[in-house]
A and B are shown apart, each in its own frame.
Chain A
């Protein structure tokens, strides 16, 4: 009897096998420059299986750029990125997805004209193992695979409590629901590593709590490794196993929440050396945000 399945039964491909003590993702001396500006200037870190690794830092610090390097959208000039022992350098974004890395974007990147269902089914693109011609006939194998995957998508819909929006075009949904759909789309990819770029930015307290609950549930049910970029310090301190702090493309601190919180370098960067420095940082942040948005959505 088919009841609502827990995520762990619907998404069985998220488990990873790495030798004990080995990281799932290893980034070494990563450097990315745009002309004169250095977005990422030699950053190293690793993510262990099942770990929730958080990256924080002011706007323009290079957090999104690191994600873009991992997903293959940008090609770093220096350094290495190894995922499950294989290099990701020069691997195209769709192939990175195929290796098991899914992503939620800072500025929602959903397919506005498509329904919630179709957006989630797009997350399953690489799991739909039938050709275009079989799709045209839509009988036998293609139909069976579509239905099997529709069930998985429905399980994710149930998990995220977005049943009532199933058939709505995503473009007309409220912001908080869109963020959930984007998380759902990434989940449907059945990833081994999930990248979350400011998952609660612009949300009210209630929506933030919902999102935190989903992230915790995903951890608990799937044991999925995640990298979370976030400005909400409360959320980061509560959820993260380890935190890396970036400033102007440099790693200024890394460690567990407590040690990072008490790191003098972090305190200095966050409180700034007088008003002048802070204002400068924000200005730069706003500028780069605009740039990044333009690049990704053009």
Chain B
């Protein structure tokens, strides 16, 4: 596979060759492209079109729920970068999400008698919601990068407890426990992304508009993360995860690489944190607890460690599962009678983490890969 033919083949002939043999590349650039086969292009297109159509088919609450999926997915991608790709287990993700939420409220929230808020444009508060947690992440990372495994888990766990305490005490920003605060105002140059609007003659509900906004952001941040993963730094992440001493001998600086992983991860967490209160209306500081961190870990475990699409699948799973249990509960035995719906949700959540950890460490994405390979090799699959 060398480049020797590229200049003699016209683009048209080139495409024809590709159609016949989808994995024959005549240029490295084509091979390196994100969507490097026709079927990947087709299915991505179909999926995007379907996602854009959904808010017109579903009710308000389901549109809101899917928006939540997008937000969780952004946060999940962040955790997957540091934990899945770079192998640094973090229990502190909830802290960075919370930090993003309160940064957004400080810069973009409305002030009141008891609350501080600068009411700045989303063009300012949303990037800030990512940057502030990123800076804090970069500050903490050199410490975290010196320990590994269990010690790292405990160190990052400490972060959640410190954060929870801070968030509870900083009442003028967070609203305090049990009271909470509304999300920042998602307004860009006068256009509010959480207000009913008429666009090109279409009357759109605020849930629909915010759905499109979060989806667009997820696509952009997903592609950025995917590019990071397949470029210089992403390979360094994987090297540090798999064999840190060999990575160093290859020229990968350990500390720097881990610090960057924590920084980028915290940025993603912070963006998710800025959007979350807008989608759910208002949020209490208690929300950013250990369980929330575990939810993000579940997202990457169930969706697929070290895959971007896995993070999205996992987010859909974690956000939609409780609703699924709720809807199906009346038709299922035991639930509602012996155990409450809420307990059933928790039990299922825990059981899924265990099942995936033991049986399919690569998550749903890994299951999909295996299924695809099975059919590719059929009838000689075993």
Contact = CB atoms under 8 A, between A and B. Distances in A.
Binding partners A and B: yes
Interface of A: 1-4, 71-73, 92-94, 96-98, 103, 105, 109-114, 118, 121-123, 125-126, 128, 130, 132, 135-138, 142-143, 146-147, 150-151, 154, 158, 163, 166, 185, 189, 296-297
B242 A112 contact: yes
A147 B28 contact: yes
Contacts of A1: 4, 7
Interface string B231-244: 11111101100110
B276 interface: no
A111 B242 contact: yes
Contact of B32 (A114, A123, A146): A146
Given A105-B246, A118-B238, A189 B251 contact: yes
Nearest to A121: B235
16 contacts: A1-B4, A1-B7, A3-B4, A97-B248, A98-B251, A105-B246, A109-B246, A109-B249, A111-B238, A118-B235, A122-B239, A125-B251, A130-B232, A136-B227, A137-B224, A147-B28
B232 A125 contact: yes
Contact of B28 (A3, A114, A151): A151
Tell me the interface secondary structure of chain A in the complex.
helix
A167 to B, nearest CB: 9
A98 B55 CA distance: 53
A94 B251 contact: yes
Identify which of B246, B247, B254 gathers the most chain A CB atoms within 10 Å of its CB: B246
Contact of A189 (B3, B227, B228, B250): B250
A154 B1 contact: yes
Interface in B134-149: none
B238 A113 contact: yes
Tell me the interface secondary structure of chain B in the complex.
helix
A143 to B, nearest CB: 8
Top 6 A-B residue pairs of the complex, sorted by shortest distance between their CB atoms: A135-B231, A97-B251, A109-B246, A93-B248, A138-B227, A126-B251
A147 B225 CA distance: 19
Identify which of B7, B231, B238, B242 gathers the most chain A CB atoms within 10 Å of its CB: B231
Interface in B238-277: 238-239, 242-243, 245-254, 260, 264
A132 B28 contact: no
B3 A2 contact: yes
Nearest to A142: B231
Contacts of A4: 2
Given A123-B250, A138-B227, A128 B232 contact: yes
A239 B212 CA distance: 66
B16 interface: no
Nearest to B260: A132
B199 interface: no
Given A72-B248, A103-B249, A113-B238, 11 more contacts: A2-B3, A93-B245, A94-B249, A109-B243, A109-B249, A110-B246, A111-B239, A118-B235, A135-B227, A143-B32, A297-B243
A136 B237 CA distance: 14
B29 interface: yes
A150 to B, nearest CB: 5
A146 B31 CA distance: 12
B224 A136 contact: yes
Nearest to A153: B28
Nearest to A114: B238
A132 B233 contact: yes
Interface string B1-30: 111100100000000000000000000110
B232 A132 contact: yes
B242 A2 contact: no
A297 B245 CA distance: 7
